[in-house]
Structure 1
Amino acid sequence: MAATDAVRSDLVTPELRRQYRDEGYFVLERALTDEQLDLLRGGAQYSIDRLDAEMDRLGTDRIGINHRGKRYFSNMIYQHRPELQQFLFSDTAAQICRATLGEDAYLFWEQYVIKAGDPETAFAWHQDSGYVHEDHEPYVTVWIALDDVTLDNGPVYLLPYSRSGIKSYVKHITDPATNDRVCYFGSDPGVPMTAPAGSIVVFSSVVMHRSGPNLTDRHRRVYIAQYSKEIITAKDDAATPQGAVDRFLEGGKVVAEF
């Protein structure tokens, strides 16, 4: 077994499975090995540099929901840094997928989410499914803290199913100032997911969530992997994938080649 796979075989307990079913999320505190954490941290600066270079090329300081020097959502980095597949298709990820999706899973999306110290780095209430479309089965988000996440540096806040009353896709509205897609305007602040580095927050793509601003002087780095039961295709075009198409699990067994 590789060092990056030296994890507990009972990572997701029956209690956590039930919590995912009933509330849409669970937390695995300090779940990553030191090797896994170092591996994922290794691509963080590259993800920033890649987006800055693209902004330079386009002569802008904003691309979509990315804002130079403030917040970065840099995706599909594993296609440029293939060593990241050691985690994406690891036993850690397999246990999470089996517990949330079942015996079959595809990698759907991957990205770094990095917030610089800036009061304008908050992110609005949304569902991850709100950045896709309504015609897909809910998928799972694996949100990994690469640094200690505190109330001061921009934690993710979740609205569990019992508090939102929602377990399905809802319509989102685009904020013209930030390009954020927004789906909730209520007063519930959500549950802050503060956790030490190496912890994993696992939640359904239909769980409403937001994140606060980073009010510190250091980056808050997060790595996100998302997995689906089947290939998610573009709206009204079944022939075009919406994201990645890497098959991960088949019949509960890891079939990804890397």
Structure 2
Amino acid sequence: MNYETLKSKFEKDGYVVINNFFDENDVEKLKNAGLKLTQNVPNEAKTVFKTSQNNQEISSYFMESCDKIGYFYEKDALDENGDLLVDQSIALNKVGHALHRLEPTFEAYTYNDKVSNICRALGLIRPTVVQSMYIYKNPGIGGEVVAHQDSTFLHTEPDSLVGFWIALDDSTIENGCLWVIPGTHKNDVHQKLVCDPKNKSRNQTIFQGTFPDYEQSAFVPVPVKKSGLVIIHGRIIHKSDHNKSQLSRHAYTFHVYDEASSQYSDKNWLQTKIGFKSLYL
């Protein structure tokens, strides 16, 4: 796919799949780095990752992950006392949100010429990385992610958010691949998750706006072979289902916005102290 075609398809559909974005050796390095993270989980990290569109209190551990490497468990991995119900190697939902700055392997593959070239093709003038995550979606335990827009959580004005989602396993319908509603990036951001201005500690968030009910028949699956990249517009409606298979669906994902043409909201939950870093140095 040439760059002109890529931009045209992205503007039309709100997402693009690029097969064989990284080679097999690159994928192995990324996946090994993700597996290594499961072996070094801090004792205090017993936070369950939740996908919800209800107002909620954010733990200090979650908030501090803006500039750190935070570990977040699947809801079915821990009992009511916080004890593991499954082996530690498959218990995590994700690790984030500063992998791209603090872990050398993920930093190398985020600030990468291939990624920079995609940003140039999309017309981003100063693409700047705001957060990153390693997502596990392990066999049997990997939970669903409800329909949402990424720009709800990482709002910029005007909206220039772009997600990079790199498959480190074959991503299939059976193991919880992405599903999207093509063209929905042309709509507004339905909701914005903002820090409650009445809460001085900034650990209480509220949703502004209403997320509509979309017909399930409108979603189309986006299966991707290992090493493939899915580029996701910040406003496109997407989700993923529970992993009911016996195969893992690991992925590395990060988000960029165009610092030259848009402003990152100071009301977003994710606020950095170490600073955002551009892909163009």
The amino acid of 1:247's aligned partner reads S
1:167 deviates by 3.1
Distance (Å, rounded) in 2 between the aligned partners of 1:227 and 1:221: 20
Measured in 2, the distance between the counterparts of 1:113 and 1:32 equals 17
TM-score (norm 1): 0.76
Partner of residue 48, structure 2: 62
In structure 2, distance between residues paired with 1:15 and 1:75: 31
Unaligned runs of 5+ in 2: 52-71, 78-90, 194-204
How has the CA–CA distance of structure 1 residues 86 and 143 changed in structure 2, closer, same or farther, with 3 Å as cutoff?
A: same
Equivalences, count = 227
Going from structure 1 to structure 2, the CA distance change for 1:242 and 1:64 (only over 3 Å counts) comes to farther
Please say if residues 127 and 278 of structure 2, whose CA atoms lie closer than 8 Å, have aligned partners that are also in contact: yes
Map of 1:187 onto structure 2: 215
SS of equivalent residue, structure 1 residue 201: strand
Q: Does structure 1 conserve the Cα–Cα contact (< 8 Å) formed by 2:159 and 2:234?
A: no
Preserved contact between residue 70 and residue 118 of structure 1 (Cα < 8 Å): no
Q: Name the SS for the 2:250 alignment partner.
A: strand
How far does the alpha carbon of each residue in 1:151-175 deviate from its partner, in whole angstroms, 9 at most, with x for none? 11000101111xx4743311168xx
Is the 8 Å Cα contact of residues 117 and 218 (structure 1) preserved in structure 2?
A: yes
- The whole-number CA distance in structure 1 between the counterparts of 2:38 and 2:5 is 37
| Structure 2 contact 185–234 (Cα < 8 Å) conserved | no
Q: Which residue of 2 aligns with 1:130?
A: 152
Q: 1:2-32 CA distances to partner (integer Å, 9 max, x unpaired)?
A: xxxxxxxxx6432221011122111101221
Q: What stretches of structure 1 of length at least 5 have no aligned partner?
A: 1-10, 174-178, 250-254
Cα RMSD, aligned residues only: 3.0
**Partner residue, 2:93:** 71
Query: Which stretch has the larger CA shift, 24-33 or 12-21?
Result: 12-21
Contact 2:185 2:235 in 1 (8 A): no
C-alpha separation in 1, matches of 2:158 and 2:3: 27
TM-score (norm 2): 0.70
Aligned partner of residue 169 in structure 1, secondary structure: coil
| Structure 1 contact 39–84 (Cα < 8 Å) conserved | no
Q: Quick check: 1:47–1:77 contact (8 Å CA) kept in 2?
A: no
Summarize the Cα distance change of 1:134–1:148 in structure 2 as closer, same or farther, 3 Å threshold: same
- For 1:214 and 1:236, locate their aligned partners in 2 and report how far apart those are by CA, in whole Å: 30
Q: Does 2:189 match 1:169?
A: yes
Secondary structure at 1:217's aligned position in 2? Answer: coil
C-alpha displacement of 1:73: 4.6
